Structure 1
Amino acid sequence: MNSYTETEFFVGDIPYQMYVQYYLPSQDQKLVPIVLLHGGFHTGSCFIKTPDNRQGWAVYLAEQGWKTYIVDWPGHGRSGFVPNFPTMPYQRVIDATVALLQQIDPAVILTHSMSGVVGWQTAQTHPKLVKAIVGIAPGPPADLLPVITLDSHEAFPEDRPRIQSREDTKKYFTNSDTFPQETFENYFCSLVAESARISNQRRNVEGRGLYICDPQILFDIPICVITGDQDPRHPHEVDAETAKYFRGDFIWLPEVGLPGHGHMQMLEHGNLAIADLFINWLHSKGL
């Protein structure tokens, strides 16, 4: 028998509404709510179950007594279609996240990869709504990135959505020793198209990334960045610098006895050990 109940709702303005799946623990332990924000090319389903049908972070957190909210970004998955999706900017995701936080109590935000930018911006503009940020290999603010030109191979045409290739998926998302390789096809089928503009903003193409006006605004918010040793786009020095920029804590997984993790920590073998890691960190901050 489940120790939680499940419901769903939408927040934000149509057509940029955001789907929210909500897990309510049967016993209220007075813990701060936690919002799980997926990264690019994904939906909130990555937090529910692993490709090989192991328990995901959302259910695990609910069983530990956390009111848990999972979202699908606007234009992704269950949130539905938005017009001109290739040019949809980060601000649409940020606005929907703020709308969710305004509807619920102030919450912990757990971000992953490209949603790291959503977390930093939400905390900058609405710091009273953010109790803490757990960044799983989070994208840094534009302040820490070089400016990329439009003719760079890292810039993307905004007349069509981005589609994650099988080659890049294997290289950047499922390369780790702990990813369940036998379920690659199941995982690959779960990926969705991504806004080319958001991808360009994440890379700071033409300086259009999202900057932090005053990082001191975030200094009073507990921040923890967690990174694995087999994440090719998030080497130690990069994510450590992101944590340092916000005066946050940095956890390098091999240093706490969890080697062999890559970019998709929530799906890899040992995912619940990583959940215990950030749960204990949150408790250490009084949350």
Structure 2
Amino acid sequence: MNSYTETEFFVGAIPYQMYVQYYRPSQDQNLVPIVLLHGAFHTGTCFVKTPDNRQGWAAYLAELGYPTYIVDWPGHGRSGCVPNFPVMSYQRVINATVALLQRIGPAVILTHSMSGVVGWQTAQTHPKLVKAIIGIAPSPPANLLPVITKNSSLAFPEDRPRIQSREDAKKYFTNSDTFPQEAFENYFCSLIPESARMSNELRNVEGQGLYIGDPQILYSIPICVITGDQDPRHPRETDAKTAKYFRGDFIWLPEVGLPDHGHLPMLEHGNLAIADLFINWLHSKGL
């Protein structure tokens, strides 16, 4: 029998509501809640189970006594469709995340990849609602990025959503030695379209990225950035710079005996060892 129960609800204003899956520990250990935020092209299912059907982070955290909340961003997965999705902005996800924290109270935010920006912005605007941020290969704030012109090859047309190709998924998401390659098809079927506007904000096209007005607001919030050595989009120097900008901790996985991880450590072999890593970090911060 599971040592937790599952419920679900929605937060935020229609049509930008956000689906939330709640794993409630059977015994209240008075531990801080943890909110799991997925990255681009994904949904909260990446925290439920691995593609080869191993235990995911959500159930593992709940079994350890942490109230755990998994979300699907507005316009993604179980949250349902939104009008004009290709131009949906980051602010919609940030607003829904704040609505969730206002409902459940202060929590740890665990971000992955593109949701890194959501964590930084939520902490800047509502620091009392954020107990800590764990960034798994998190996107940096626009403060650390150059401005890209809309004519650049790195900018995306906003008349249609972005679709992740099989080739790019293999190159950037599932390339690591620890990813369960035999389950690639199962994983690839889980990917969904992404907002082109959010992608352009992420890359700071025409300066429309989300800037941190005062990074000192985040200095009092415990922050930990975690990165694997086989993540082609997140070299060590880049993520270490993000951690330093917020005066946070940086963990390079090979240095703690966890080599060969890529961009999706929550799905790779050894995923629970990485969960233990950030749980121990939370303990070190009194959480």
Output the TM-score relative to the length of structure 2: 1.00
- Equivalenced residues, count: 287
Give the 3-state SS of the residue equivalent to 1:132 in structure 2.
strand
Deviation at 1:59, TM superposition (A): 0.3
**Partners in 2 of 1:162 and 1:176 — Cα distance?**
24
Spell out the pairing of 1:37-52 with structure 2 (5 A cutoff): 37-52=37-52
**Partners in 1 of 2:206 and 2:142 — Cα distance?**
11
Deviation at 1:153, TM superposition (A): 1.0
Spell out the pairing of 1:167-206 with structure 2 (5 A cutoff): 167-206=167-206
Q: Which amino acid aligns with 2:196?
A: A
Is 1:213 paired with 2:220?
no
Q: Which amino acid aligns with 1:23?
A: Y
Q: Deviations over 1:15-73 (max 9, x none)?
A: 00000000000111110000000001000000000000000000000000000000000
**Partners in 2 of 1:188 and 1:30 — Cα distance?**
37
**Partners in 2 of 1:131 and 1:191 — Cα distance?**
30
Output the TM-score relative to the length of structure 1: 1.00
Which residue does 1:155 correspond to in 2?
Answer: 155
**Partners in 1 of 2:232 and 2:151 — Cα distance?**
23
Give the 3-state SS of the residue equivalent to 1:240 in structure 2.
helix
Is 1:134 paired with 2:139?
no
Q: Which amino acid aligns with 1:211?
A: Y
Deviation at 1:181, TM superposition (A): 0.5
**Partners in 1 of 2:271 and 2:152 — Cα distance?**
35
Which residue does 1:73 correspond to in 2?
Answer: 73
Deviation at 1:151, TM superposition (A): 1.1
Q: Deviations over 1:143-197 (max 9, x none)?
A: 0001111111110000000000111100000000000001110000000000000
**Partners in 2 of 1:268 and 1:153 — Cα distance?**
31
Deviation at 1:105, TM superposition (A): 1.6
Q: Which amino acid aligns with 1:275?
A: A
**Partners in 2 of 1:33 and 1:16 — Cα distance?**
23
Q: Which amino acid aligns with 1:242?
A: T
Gaps of 5+ in 1: none
Give the 3-state SS of the residue equivalent to 2:221 in structure 1.
coil
Which residue does 2:56 correspond to in 1?
Answer: 56
**Partners in 2 of 1:59 and 1:125 — Cα distance?**
30
Gaps of 5+ in 2: none
**Partners in 2 of 1:3 and 1:83 — Cα distance?**
39
**Partners in 2 of 1:176 and 1:146 — Cα distance?**
28
**Partners in 1 of 2:105 and 2:95 — Cα distance?**
16
Q: Which amino acid aligns with 1:148?
A: I
Give the 3-state SS of the residue equivalent to 2:152 in structure 1.
coil
